[in-house]
């Protein structure tokens, strides 16, 4: 029995080696750099354009965020952002577009629950913990700041 078990383990290990994808780390890093760089350049272009149109820095930043989130959600909805993320890897996880993609991707997968309840429930799969911990952290920091100012 030990011999059979040993052959099964060896066959399994060979199977795992066959099906495990191999990645070229250098190539993946270059792809991530290109995709992340392009997204950041687009964001900078939006900032510069908004600034040249007469908006102050804060308003230009708000418009830049709004446009990048909208574009990411739209590209996720039509199936282009997942392909970009697959090719560019971590480069597509530039914070604002990556987060918008993760929220929109969950909302797109509504088929089991239906459109209304599916989107309503699935959209917070990723966003829920982020919002929860963001609000909780801001509350704790606000309380700490209030106590700090109270005793000084």
Q: Which two tokens stand for residue 78?
A: 């039509």
Q: What percent of the chain has pLDDT over 90?
A: 45
Other Cβ atoms closer than 10 A to 48: 12
Close Cβ partners of 104 (under 8 Å, ≥ 6 residues apart): 72, 73, 76, 77, 81
pTM attached to this predicted model:
0.68
Provide the b/e sequence for 75-93 (b: ≥16 CB within 10 Å).
bbeeeebeebbeebbebbb
- The more confident residue out of 130 and 149 is 149
**Residue 116: pLDDT above 70?**
no
61-90 average pLDDT score: 92
Confidence band for 124, pLDDT divided at 50, 70 and 90 = low
36-53 average pLDDT score: 95
Task: Look at 26-35, 60-69, 112-121 and tell me which has the smallest mean pLDDT.
Answer: 112-121
Q: How much is the mean pLDDT over the chain?
A: 86
HSE (CB half, 13 Å, CA atoms) of 69? Answer: 10
**Residue 111: pLDDT above 60?**
no
């Amino acid at each position: 029995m030990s011999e059979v078990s040993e052959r099964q383990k060896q066959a399994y290990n060979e199977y795992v080696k066959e099906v495990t994808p191999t990645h070229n780390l250098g190539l993946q890093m270059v792809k991530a750099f290109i995709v992340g760089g392009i997204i950041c350049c687009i964001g900078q272009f939006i900032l510069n354009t908004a600034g040249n149109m007469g908006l102050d820095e804060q308003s230009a930043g708000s418009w830049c965020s709004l446009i990048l989130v909208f574009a990411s959600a739209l590209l996720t909805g039509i199936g282009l952002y997942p392909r970009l993320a697959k090719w560019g890897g971590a480069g597509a996880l530039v914070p604002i577009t990556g987060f918008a993609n993760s929220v929109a991707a969950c909302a797109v997968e509504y088929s089991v629950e239906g459109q209304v309840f599916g989107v309503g429930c699935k959209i917070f799969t990723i966003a829920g913990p982020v919002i929860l911990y963001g609000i909780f952290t801001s509350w704790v920091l606000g309380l700490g700041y209030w106590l700090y100012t109270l005793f000084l």
